[in-house]
Amino acid sequence: MAVGIFDSGLGGLTILDAVQARLPDVEFAYLADSANAPYGVRSADDIYDLTCAATQRLFDAGCDLVVLACNTASAAALRRMQEGWVPEGKRVLGVFVPLIEAMTERQWGDNSPPREVALKHVALFATPATVATRAFQRELAFRAIGVDVEAQACGGVVDAIEDGDFILAEALVRSHVDALKRKMPEPQAAILGCTHYPLMQDAFRDALGADVKVFSQADLVAESLADYLQRHPKMSGTGQGGFLTTGDPARVSTRATQFLRRPMSFTAA
């Protein structure tokens, strides 16, 4: 049995690492659409089509539940998929909601009206496509009122990480944080709204300063998934775990091994 984890590239490995640690008895099938990465500069229709194709590949592999470990896909495609595409008996979940629930101090499934929360000034760092959807602000508005969100599109960061150029990635992070602070000088919290960004978490923290609380998604998504599978144990699927990519398996395997600092072997999707 296996749960599907999908990302446009390798950023979702931060989610995979956390869910494997939290759920050691669950198999995971990870699919990286490396041939089409990054998604953050694509149109909403392109992201939707690519995400559906990748999710279907995981369904075909025996996964009944697929987690979109990609904020861009979650923002631009998830709602549309859930409303008219997901086949009966299958489920697709995103990564935004666990993060927002933690930020607003709500438990899973709390559907009470939006209320005031402690955080009033929040910085969102995400890909250009994620920022354009305003999906984070929309989901936040369902749960909280009076929160000022300033979004910063972080162009180039995902490309640098995928290329293994962490010196460039760090320089870009500092540039984007500087740009955000010109718009919101004193954020109380920062959302790393891309699954690649935890790989640069120290750079974000250093640039933002010690007084800014940084929310990253991996552990929050892992806890949310554990809760979901406890309530829906049959959604564990029937397929086998493994690592798939639409890109060059040898190159992706090398990069993935560098990211997680453990041997990883991808095969062609």
Residues 203 and 223 in one domain: no
* Contact (CB, 8 A) for 91 and 236: no
Residues 163 and 104 in one domain: yes
Measured in degrees and rounded to the nearest 5, phi and psi for residue 33 equal -85, 60
Q: Which domain holds residue 262?
A: 2-96+218-268
**Lowest-pLDDT range of 105-109, 185-189, 210-214:** 105-109
Which of 52, 63, 154, 194 is an active site residue? 194
Predicted confidence at residue 198, as pLDDT, reads 87
Q: What is the pLDDT of residues 4-39, one digit of tens each?
A: 999 999 889 999 999 999 999 999 999 999 999 889
Catalytic residue at 63? no
Residues 206 and 237 in one domain: no
Which of 52, 63, 70, 154 is an active site residue? 70
3-state class (DSSP) for residue 114: coil
Residues 228 and 208 in one domain: no
Mean pLDDT score, 39-46: 92
Confidence category of residue 102, pLDDT binned at 50, 70, 90: confident
3-state class (DSSP) for residue 72: helix
Asked if pLDDT for residue 205 goes beyond 80, the answer is: yes
Residues 229 and 210 in one domain: no
Q: How many separate domains does the chain show?
A: 2
Residues 13 and 78 in one domain: yes
Catalytic residue at 52? no
Residues 36 and 73 in one domain: yes
Cis peptide, bond prior to residue 113, ω within 30 of zero = no
3-state class (DSSP) for residue 89: coil
* Contact (CB, 8 A) for 172 and 144: no
Residues 210 and 224 in one domain: no
Indicate which CATH number applies to the domain containing 232. 3.40.50.1860
Closest to 39 (Cα-Cα) out of 30, 52, 28: 52
Residues 57 and 101 in one domain: no
Mean pLDDT score, 247-257: 94
Mean pLDDT score, 41-50: 95
Q: What angle do CA 41, 44, 49 make, to 5 degrees?
A: 105
